[in-house]
Amino acid sequence: MIIVLKNNDQNTIAELQEHFGNTHEVFVHNNRVAVQGIKEADLSASERAAATDIITNVPKAVQGSREFHPEDTVIRTKHSVIGGDNFTMMAGPCSVESEEHIAKMAAVAKANGATILRGGAFKPRTSPYSFQGLGEDGLKFMRKAADEYHMDMLTEVMDDEHVKMVAKYADIFQIGARNMQNFSLLKTVGKTNVPVMLKRGMSATVDDVLNASEYIAAGGNHNIMIVERGIRTFDNKYTRNTMDVGVVPVLQKLTHYPVIIDPSHASGHTEFVTPLALAGVAAGASGLVVEIHDDPEHAFSDGPQALKPNEFKELSDKAFAIRELLSTGMPVEQAEAGR
Amino acid sequence: MIIVLKNNDQNTIAELQEHFGNTHEVFVHNNRVAVQGIKEADLSASERAAATDIITNVPKAVQGSREFHPEDTVIRTKHSVIGGDNFTMMAGPCSVESEEHIAKMAAVAKANGATILRGGAFKPRTSPYSFQGLGEDGLKFMRKAADEYHMDMLTEVMDDEHVKMVAKYADIFQIGARNMQNFSLLKTVGKTNVPVMLKRGMSATVDDVLNASEYIAAGGNHNIMIVERGIRTFDNKYTRNTMDVGVVPVLQKLTHYPVIIDPSHASGHTEFVTPLALAGVAAGASGLVVEIHDDPEHAFSDGPQALKPNEFKELSDKAFAIRELLSTGMPVEQAEAGR
Amino acid sequence: MIIVLKNNDQNTIAELQEHFGNTHEVFVHNNRVAVQGIKEADLSASERAAATDIITNVPKAVQGSREFHPEDTVIRTKHSVIGGDNFTMMAGPCSVESEEHIAKMAAVAKANGATILRGGAFKPRTSPYSFQGLGEDGLKFMRKAADEYHMDMLTEVMDDEHVKMVAKYADIFQIGARNMQNFSLLKTVGKTNVPVMLKRGMSATVDDVLNASEYIAAGGNHNIMIVERGIRTFDNKYTRNTMDVGVVPVLQKLTHYPVIIDPSHASGHTEFVTPLALAGVAAGASGLVVEIHDDPEHAFSDGPQALKPNEFKELSDKAFAIRELLSTGMPVEQAEAGR
Amino acid sequence: MIIVLKNNDQNTIAELQEHFGNTHEVFVHNNRVAVQGIKEADLSASERAAATDIITNVPKAVQGSREFHPEDTVIRTKHSVIGGDNFTMMAGPCSVESEEHIAKMAAVAKANGATILRGGAFKPRTSPYSFQGLGEDGLKFMRKAADEYHMDMLTEVMDDEHVKMVAKYADIFQIGARNMQNFSLLKTVGKTNVPVMLKRGMSATVDDVLNASEYIAAGGNHNIMIVERGIRTFDNKYTRNTMDVGVVPVLQKLTHYPVIIDPSHASGHTEFVTPLALAGVAAGASGLVVEIHDDPEHAFSDGPQALKPNEFKELSDKAFAIRELLSTGMPVEQAEAGR
């Protein structure tokens, strides 16, 4: 249940916390107090009197809900602002391959509007005998490249021990699709204050991903992004996954966290990455995370879905243009001039 | 196998038809001759010599393939040009409800850029006890409305006998998702020269829908559009289906038929129709087919997914703007001026 | 709404029919009267007084529901009894290939417990260029074979015109998975009195298949079987479809129609047909429909999933044994002796 | 590639290990040597001469494959033998609820043929605010109950730190469906010698689960069972998941690990658990893992799918009867007498 109070009614907030805090989960956001598992009859007369509204139909993932937190979450990192009216480009190679290579990719990403550098140092591969990433060396190379190009660094954490090590280098943690319901890991990153990019599992429902994000929020970390990266359906002959573009407006209705599109994993094939990216932008996504590589055929992993620098430039130009068209109503050239 | 000849090599075309026409399916498109089920060794020396290229890896649905017909199919009706560089808007109510109502909806559709009026007179309802449509009266009302507003008329055919009756009124046949593999019906419309809008079945793979379209082509009717209207996946809590936006570039690579997006059935909820429509346009679709209604709450069918006139205006404006941005590179205002 | 009356209360039944028959769908089964779309308040005082029970939570497919028709439907053909405590084996080739071949397959089927001969004369093939069946000749050959071996003949009808022709030969109509929502066809067979075997579409929900069956029942034909033949899921690398064995008890709870398992289409590979068939029997299915062929490698269609005669014998022996074990509790040898 | 040698050709095995061991993954099972990523041409003349067979088409999950390890894996714990010709029953409550309750459930399980006691002390719940299990106390209670009834103890491990603690109590680790691709956890249990019951993820393909099992095998732990617990499909109105019974014979063809059926999670509703369990047995599963509870309505978790003691007795009697019928060919009563 969510009790909506007048602004700055700190007295009732304190009263509710004292009343329910020892026996129930109590969350406060501005003038809204969520208390899990109570009924209206459980409120005292003064608590009821102070309420301007009482919302009873509340999802389990209450902290992530619009009912509890109506305004958009906006995440601020050193070089980026994510969510709200902003549009954020993230790009980089699937794996960190060498100190030189990640720097080269950072240059390409930055030159085309990306403010966040993505790359994997620990890779969750389907087979134990596939390349598993450069490990901590990869993190160091990536940090250096990000610093050189004034970008934020986004990389995946795969288990509790990684979290400590990766936290020394990264600006944003990624939780991969296969770990979306690794609740131990979610709890661990929830106890940090590092922003988290949570990828929707390949068969996760909308409710599943919202509940997974709530594990992070429950620990106190509210800097969360949710990523659509394609789901599993009956047809994967021509694309690796099926991008569920409809989840963008659905999630934006239900939650205040920024919604990001990963067109690379959704398609799995270079030639379809740009149309999927633009579809995501047109549907209203707050950003894109795109895999790029200067020599995809020799990439250490996921080469077939990596865009070459010139392809990424084309994607980025069109993505920003569509975003500006939708958000400003301004003619594109003007908007571009102001970019 | 497809034998590519020099342009206007009518002699070899005649030779191939004589050689294989009695025993195999032989199709000719310009300088390309497809012969089903033969090997290169089956060609005569002169046939082989005349070939500038021989394509052996050919899909079963050969007439619909880019290998056989590299250029886009462009369908010309009285009021519309569909496919190629064109963008076509189709709109109307789910069901024809009355003579007045369909005329009113035609006015709204036309005023916002639609050149094709959609509406159902025979409705394929899940339950036999639901409203089944106005029947032939509905067709008459719709024809009148289309004529009044100088639009083409698009409506569903449900069985062989419908085809004859509907052909008296409609400009374009629709084959519904549930009938996508009703091969008798496909064969029947294949023998007409009325353009066909074929909806992808809710669990049809890309290959399935291409093979279904080939049943129409096999009868001699090549005026085919393919519609993505959402597929069935594991999550339908917030949207009725999952719109597979990736199928737009995939189909455009594989086939020359125009690809249309139906955001209404894909979402099932008004609030998500516009983002899905724009996603489809951004992915490159050749058109949209949208359900509209001035009083959705009292619609005879599918009210929850029907856009009101002002909502449709907003969708249409943005859809044309994105299309023009992507296809012309021109600033939007200029492009609109020239529309 | 279903009004349950005392047995033989013909007066109230007549009263209800007169009261609602002109404005609502009214169905009567023994002492149960279903009236679509009314509320309890719509009943007259005498109607309410006569009711021993009123069931308000009723599915749309009311005639097929257990609420309306609690006891099992038992279908009696010349050589078979289907449903209730009976177990029915149906077998035959995918396609009728020749007069001799179908007779040979009938002999194999009958020798191993089948009382129904299956086979296709009109084949719904994915591609228009694949073998489409022998047509009416196939029906004649199959009729002859069925008569010779004292079996019932089961074959697919594909459109309205087929129905008339096929009715001259067949004892049971099959509606294929791709036509499960071909409502015109469902209505046509609903007007005959020939038993119908309705296959669940590959992405049909339980409610979808029940609603499809209601189209048949709405025409007056209540001799309906429902067949599970595998659904489409994300994994079809090793089996053609995913057999949803859980649908057997689910359907048996919801409907009174016999539930049949088709393990051949569900698996698509001979080596997995028998385990799937036995799983279906153990789950409680009323029968099996199995594809057999003496020379699968040269079958006209679906060879990879056809069992050879000796494989079918093994399947059949085990299937009957499990069925008898579950239904009689008797040791198997005794039960077999009494078969 | 797998090189098959004569039995006891230790020389060639040593030669191959020396030749490839520093640069490739090399695995030996009896007379079979798997070397990842080489071609036949990479073998020396003497290596090639010693080979009685060379298998080149080998799955990535080579240690789990039948090609590498043709005979069934049989796992021996203190009280159970799992795999091969054996049939193993596992049962217990979803969560350990108290010392008394787990003991009571152990008594029920044991009395009906179960030799393995299942129960959760750390629960992977969708929502962070749901009951998360009793923790280490639960493990202690469960150990005591298992010992009292001479059963093995099976419980879930959720992260690397759990593994150490749980290993002090449990005889078998469970990896839950949501952690099937938690590669860190798989690696950790792979380094122990505790048997592992790996649950197939709800959208995991057959290849995915085999690759996940290979992460365990790669660490040296080959005591692995694979569990089918239902997958996600488009229909979950009447059952929580769709049990993919066909995966039993498919996995048995591809891998040597025992395949177990979990009918409780597959159905989600008590009334469907027994038919699904029997279907799994009839398809050839090596065992069942079933949730039981004496008071399902007040269970701490998953009550709706828990069988009551008398229901479990009925399931167990029928399951053993079908298994014996299929494996012995003996009349059931005799077989039961010898049990």
Q: Could C236 and A234 be called an inter-chain contact, meaning their C-beta atoms sit closer than 8 Å?
A: yes
Of C36, C125, C203, the CB nearest to B203: C203
D266 with D239: CB under 8 angstroms?
A: yes
Query: In this predicted structure, what is the pLDDT of residue B162?
Result: 86
Chain A residues with CB under 8 Å of B322 CB are 282, 322, 325
Q: Is A290 helix (H, G, I), strand (E, B) or coil?
A: strand
Domain assignment of residue C182, yes or no: yes
For residue D278, the distance in angstroms to the closest alpha carbon of chain C comes to: 5
Q: Is A321 helix (H, G, I), strand (E, B) or coil?
A: helix
Domain assignment of residue D216, yes or no: yes
Residues of chain A contacting C, Cβ within 8 Å? 203, 232-234, 236
Q: Is C154 helix (H, G, I), strand (E, B) or coil?
A: strand
Other CB atoms within 10 A of residue C52 CB: 11
Chain D residues with CB under 8 Å of C281 CB are 282
Domain assignment of residue D67, yes or no: no
Residues in chain A: 339
Share of chain C above pLDDT 90, in %: 89
Residues of chain B contacting A, Cβ within 8 Å? 203, 205-207, 231, 233-235, 237-239, 242-246, 248-250, 253-254, 266-267, 271-272, 275-276, 278-284, 318, 321-322, 325-326, 331-334
Q: Both A38 and A166 in a single domain?
A: no
The residues with which D184 forms a beta bridge, in sequence order, are none
Residues of chain D contacting C, Cβ within 8 Å? 203, 205-207, 231, 233-235, 237-239, 242-246, 248-250, 253-254, 266-267, 271-272, 275-276, 278-284, 318, 321-322, 325-326, 331-334
Residue in chain C nearest D251 by alpha carbon:
C238
pLDDT in tens, D140-191: 999 999 999 999 999 999 988 889 999 999 999 999 999 999 999 999 999 9
Query: In this predicted structure, what is the pLDDT of residue D47?
Result: 96
Q: Both A85 and A124 in a single domain?
A: yes
Chain A residues with CB under 8 Å of B253 CB are 238, 271
Chain A residues with CB under 8 Å of D214 CB are 127-129
Query: In this predicted structure, what is the pLDDT of residue B53?
Result: 96
Domain assignment of residue D34, yes or no: yes
Q: Could A331 and B334 be called an inter-chain contact, meaning their C-beta atoms sit closer than 8 Å?
A: yes
Chain A residues with CB under 8 Å of D202 CB are 203
Share of chain D above pLDDT 70, in %: 96
Of B253, B279, B331, the CB nearest to A245: B279
Binned at pLDDT 50, 70 and 90, residue C24 comes out as very high
Binned at pLDDT 50, 70 and 90, residue C131 comes out as confident
Please give the Cα distance from D86 to B57 (Å, whole number).
49
Q: Could C236 and A232 be called an inter-chain contact, meaning their C-beta atoms sit closer than 8 Å?
A: no
Please give the Cα distance from B339 to A100 (Å, whole number).
49
For residue D203, the distance in angstroms to the closest alpha carbon of chain C comes to: 7
Q: Both C51 and C171 in a single domain?
A: no
Residues of chain B with pLDDT under 70: 328-339
Q: Both B79 and B10 in a single domain?
A: no
Q: What is the DSSP letter of D329?
A: -
Domain assignment of residue A201, yes or no: yes
pLDDT in tens, A57-112: 999 999 999 999 999 999 999 999 999 999 999 999 999 999 999 999 999 999 99
For residue D142, the distance in angstroms to the closest alpha carbon of chain C comes to: 32
- Which string of DSSP letters, residue by residue, matches D192-246? S-S-EEEEPPTT--HHHHHHHHHHHHHTT---EEEEE--B--S--SSSSSB-BTT
Query: In this predicted structure, what is the pLDDT of residue D327?
Result: 83
Q: Is D163 helix (H, G, I), strand (E, B) or coil?
A: helix
Query: In this predicted structure, what is the pLDDT of residue A44?
Result: 96
ipTM confidence = 0.92
Tokens representing D235? 């229909």
Tokens representing B220? 């001699």
Query: In this predicted structure, what is the pLDDT of residue D240?
Result: 93
A275: domain CATH number?
3.20.20.70
Residue in chain A nearest D36 by alpha carbon:
A129
For residue B266, the distance in angstroms to the closest alpha carbon of chain D comes to: 15
| Most distant CA atoms of chain B, gap in Å | 69
Q: What is the mean pLDDT of residues D312-322?
A: 97
Other CB atoms within 10 A of residue A161 CB: 14
Chain D residues with CB under 8 Å of C235 CB are 205-206, 231, 244
Task: Single out the residue of B168, B175, B188, B153 nearest to residue B80, CA to CA.
Answer: B153
Residue in chain B nearest A268 by alpha carbon:
B246
Q: Both B95 and B201 in a single domain?
A: yes
Q: Across all residues in chain C, what is the average pLDDT?
A: 94
Task: Single out the residue of A323, A324, A322, A319 nearest to residue A335, CA to CA.
Answer: A324
Q: Both B100 and B245 in a single domain?
A: yes
Domain assignment of residue B111, yes or no: yes
Chain B residues with CB under 8 Å of D234 CB are 203, 232-234, 236
Q: Is the pLDDT of residue A125 over 50?
A: yes
Q: Both B177 and B324 in a single domain?
A: yes
Please give the Cα distance from B262 to B246 (Å, whole number).
14
| Most distant CA atoms of chain A, gap in Å | 69
Q: Both C137 and C179 in a single domain?
A: yes
Domain assignment of residue B52, yes or no: yes
Chosen for mutation from B126, B232, B234 (greatest number of chain D CBs closer than 10 Å) is B234
Q: Both C273 and C169 in a single domain?
A: yes
D267 with D243: CB under 8 angstroms?
A: yes
Q: Could C203 and A236 be called an inter-chain contact, meaning their C-beta atoms sit closer than 8 Å?
A: no
Instruction: Kindly report which listed range (A189-198, A252-261, A330-339) carries the lowest average pLDDT score.
Output: A330-339
Q: Could B250 and A239 be called an inter-chain contact, meaning their C-beta atoms sit closer than 8 Å?
A: yes
Q: Is C335 helix (H, G, I), strand (E, B) or coil?
A: helix
Bridge-based pairing state of the strands D26-29 and D2-5: unpaired
Please say which residue of A58, A83, A98 terminates a domain. A58
Q: Both A167 and A48 in a single domain?
A: no
Chain A residues with CB under 8 Å of B254 CB are 238
Domain assignment of residue C63, yes or no: no
Q: Could D282 and C278 be called an inter-chain contact, meaning their C-beta atoms sit closer than 8 Å?
A: yes
- CA–CA distances in Å: residue C270 to residues A273, B21, C275: 39, 37, 10
Q: What is the mean pLDDT of residues A25-37?
A: 95
- Within a 13 Å sphere around the CA of D178, how many CA atoms are in the beta-carbon half? 22
Chosen for mutation from D234, D236, D237 (greatest number of chain B CBs closer than 10 Å) is D234
Q: Determine the distance from the C-alpha atom of residue A174 to the mean position of all C-alpha atoms in its chain, rounded to a whole number.
A: 8
Q: What is the mean pLDDT of residues A36-55?
A: 95
Chain D residues with CB under 8 Å of B234 CB are 203, 232-234, 236
For residue D59, the distance in angstroms to the closest alpha carbon of chain C comes to: 14
Tokens representing C247? 């649908």
Chain A residues with CB under 8 Å of D211 CB are 126-128
Q: Could A232 and C234 be called an inter-chain contact, meaning their C-beta atoms sit closer than 8 Å?
A: yes
Chain D residues with CB under 8 Å of C209 CB are none
Tokens 């090793």, residue located: C238
For residue B332, the distance in angstroms to the closest alpha carbon of chain C comes to: 41
| Residue ranges making up the domain that contains A25 | 2-58
Q: Both A191 and A315 in a single domain?
A: yes
- CA–CA distances in Å: residue B268 to residues A259, A294, A321, B272, B293: 21, 42, 29, 8, 14
Phi, psi of B51 (to 5 degrees): -75, 130
Q: Is D166 helix (H, G, I), strand (E, B) or coil?
A: helix
Query: In this predicted structure, what is the pLDDT of residue B329?
Result: 57
Query: In this predicted structure, what is the pLDDT of residue A329?
Result: 57
Q: Is the pLDDT of residue C330 over 70?
A: no
Query: In this predicted structure, what is the pLDDT of residue D116?
Result: 98
Q: Both B216 and B120 in a single domain?
A: yes
In total, how many domains does chain D have? Answer: 2
